[in-house]
Amino acid sequence: MHDHDHHDHHHDNRYTDMQARVRALETVLTQKGLIDPAAIDAIVETYETKIGPRNGAHVVAKSWVEPEFSEWLQTDATAAIASLGYTGRQGEHMRAVFNTPETHNLVVCTLCSCYPWAVLGLPPVWYKAPAYRSRAVIDPRAVLAEFGLVLPETRKIRVWDSTAELRYLVIPQRPEGTEGMDAPELAQLVSRDAMIGTALAGRPA
């Protein structure tokens, strides 16, 4: 058992130990008049809902319906994504990796939790977890199965390790039965997990 594990049980609240520390710091800073809680909430909501996965879904859907944009993504994803107004907070570069019938792509950050905030919003908790970060590299097929994604044995799984300078965006395959759908409709089928590689794009209802 790690030293911090005994802090992980609930202290009659809904926060983990780290969340409790953040809340305590926020309270102190608010009392000192240094931050406005409403501004913090607005930033979080923006990353969760506005800057969040909807940006990435827009990128994916546009690549499905516009071959020229798809080619641009393959040659210079940073510029292609920036053309839609989505840029990294620290100028990091983007690379788009395309799923095919032969190859499935999975993104991880083994050193910390580098993540493309500009197109995916807030990283999921599991993306930061040591178990995911190590096992995704060692046994990606088993990890995907735990997410409910069982791929054919014939399909190669390629794992991409994000860094502070380079972030990855998975472009899932366009689902069957979507021929008559436009980009906004297609974007609704693209989840955050599909753009990390732990899921496939959804099918139309």
Q: What are phi and psi of 167, to 5 degrees?
A: -115, 150
Set 63, 70, 83, 112: catalytic member:
112
Binding-site residues from annotation for Fe(3+): 109, 112-114
Both tokens of 157, joined, read 């799984």
Q: Is 113 a catalytic residue?
A: yes
Catalytic residue from among 109, 134, 162, 191: 109
- Per the annotation, the verdict on 83 as an active-site residue is no
Annotated catalytic residue, options 70, 83, 113, 191: 113
Best CA proximity match to 196, nearest among 85, 53, 91: 53
Strand partners, 160: 107
CA distance 173 to 200: 8
3-state secondary structure at position 106: strand
Q: Are 57 and 188 in contact (CB under 8 A)?
A: yes
Give the pair of three-digit tokens for residue 122.
């807030």
β-sheet bridge partners, residue 97: 170
Q: Is 134 a catalytic residue?
A: no
Judge whether 112 counts as a catalytic residue: yes
Q: Which of 153, 161, 152, 99 is nearest to 133 (CA)?
A: 161
Please list the active-site residues: 109, 112-114
